[in-house]
Amino acid sequence: MKKVITYGSFDTLHYGHILLLKRARELGDHLTVALSSDAFNLAKNKISHFDFAQREALLKAITYVDDIIPEDTWEQKRNDVTQLNIDIFTMGDDWAGKFDFLGDLCEVIYLPRTPRISSTAIKNIHVSSLA
C-alpha cells in the first residue's frame, strides 16, 4: 500500500482544496491529512474561521481523505513520515522546494494549485462584503 501525506489549515475549504486532495489521493492508496491545530495556527499568526473540530469534520466528509492527524509544529513532519510509513509527501506548488529535506525519507511532490482561487482571496471577498 502506498501512503501519502499532506499538511494544511484547510480553514476556508474550497474547490481548489478538493482538487488538491483528490490529486494527492490519486498518488497512492491512502491519504493522511495533517491538519493544523488551533494553537499551531496561532503560532503561524493565522486566525481560523473554523476551529480544529469543525475543520476536521469538513475533511472527514471528503472521500479522498483516509485519516486526519493534528499538525502541532513545523518540525513534526520527519517524525510523521517515519512513524506513519509515508511513501509520498505532497503539498501545493506554492511551497516548492520548502520540504525537499524530506527526500531522504520519502518522495516529495508539489502539486499545482487551482488557478484563480485561494483561501486568502475568499477571506478578502468576505471581509470586503462586510465593509
| pTM of the model as a whole | 0.86
For the question of residue 77 being annotated catalytic, the response is no
Which of 2, 3, 22, 46 does the annotation list as catalytic?
Answer: 46
Q: Is the pLDDT of residue 42 over 80?
A: yes
Tens-place pLDDT, residues 12-21: 887 888 999 9
Provide the 8-state DSSP code for 95: G
Q: What is the CATH number of domain 3-130?
A: 3.40.50.620
CA angle, residues 30, 20, 51, in degrees to nearest 5: 85
Residue 38 CB burial class (10 angstroms; 0-12, 13-18, ≥19): middle
Residue 66 CB burial class (10 angstroms; 0-12, 13-18, ≥19): middle
Which of 2, 3, 22, 44 does the annotation list as catalytic?
Answer: 44
For the question of residue 46 being annotated catalytic, the response is yes
Owner of C-alpha cell 484563480: 116
Tens-place pLDDT, residues 97-119: 999 999 999 999 999 987 655 55
